[in-house]
Amino acid sequence: MALAHTAFVFPGQGSQKVGMLAAAYEAYAAVRDTFSAASEALGYDMWDLIQNGEQEALNLTATTQPVLLTSSVALWRAWQEQGGDSPLVMAGHSLGEFSALVCAGALDFADAVRLVRQRGEFMQTAVPVGEGAMAAIIGVDDQVIVDICAGVAGGSAGEVAAVNFNSPGQVVIAGHTGAVDAAIAALKDAGAKRAMPLPVSAPFHTVLMRPAGERLAEAMATVAINSPAIPVIHNVHCQAESDPERIRELLVQQIYSPVQWTGCVQAMVERGVSDVVECGPGKVLGGLNRRIDKSLSSHSLEEPEGLQEALSALAGAA
């Protein structure tokens, strides 16, 4: 039975940190089992990396992507283990869309872990380390950001574009490092309150990722995709899809297309969502979601206390 008025959302890159999920790992067998399965699929001890590795290693996208997917799926399984019901709808931010599709039954977990590691490798090699960058811009109208990036792009500094529409007044830009720096300077002149470089190692969701998209399409050709048991709102067009081949196309397009997170949240609200559960490390999406629609209630599953609070708060909502 689905939880009425409830959505589960899954974070993307930037939420990773050394030591994350330590309490959940101790509390829930489902979390331990999920990390063990991921380690077996990838051939290294993922849990040891998260707890004892270096942040710089964790931030490399080929590592970050399977780590975050595993973390989100582990918390979803802990939720189920504790008796939590399925939500009305799901969505994931960028990489988080893969997590959502695993939890919705559209992708096999082991397949997805291997696939997102490849996705990370493809994205990293599309633009060498140091040549690409991303930055969050806060306090400027979205269209101003789009226009300034368009004015900078194509010049001697390279390409830059608005790529993540995270909430009104918070947009992420990405591209060649010099072009991102030039856009940041112009946006500060235009009144941006903050411009924060992001801890990622490639300019995601830009035209620079098209080669990665082509390689991802090849890798995905042999991966089975099912129709989701729970609707998943996609980043590219803010709609749910049931056709596996259409889902496959959208996952490829997403790698070089802007993430329309504001539109995804609005689409969930239009379906009647009033409670949003963040299933993964951190609370980044909870903050964005409240800026998009102040009526939304947010819950986080990263800590056992948060998971139990969400179970209690949503009990009887099915």
What pLDDT, in 10s, does the model give residues 131-185?
Answer: 999 999 999 999 999 999 999 998 899 999 999 999 999 999 999 999 999 999 9
Q: What is the mean pLDDT of residues 2-24?
A: 93
298 flagged as catalytic: no
Overall CATH class of domain 132-200: alpha beta
Start-to-end CA span in the chain (Å)? 6
Of residues 2 and 102, more confidence is placed in 102
Report the predicted TM-score, pTM, of the whole model to 2 decimal places. 0.94
Active site residue 94: yes
Q: 189, 186, 194, 197: which is closest to 139 by C-alpha?
A: 194
Residue range 88-114: average pLDDT?
Answer: 98
pLDDT-based confidence at 35, cuts 50/70/90? very high
- 242 with 220: CB under 8 angstroms? no
Residue 134: which of 156, 159, 106 has the closest Cα?
Answer: 159
Among candidate residues 5, 93, 176, 205, the one labeled active-site is 205
Task: Record the tokens describing residue 313, joined without a space.
Answer: 């708060």
- The answer, yes or no, to whether residue 15 has pLDDT greater than 90, is no
What are the extents of the domains in the chain? 2-126+208-314, 132-200
Catalytic residue among 39, 72, 94, 99: 94
Contact status, residue 230 vs residue 98, Cβ threshold 8 Å: no
CATH 3.90.1170.50 fits 2-126+208-314, yes or no: no
Q: In percent, how much of the chain has pLDDT > 70?
A: 98
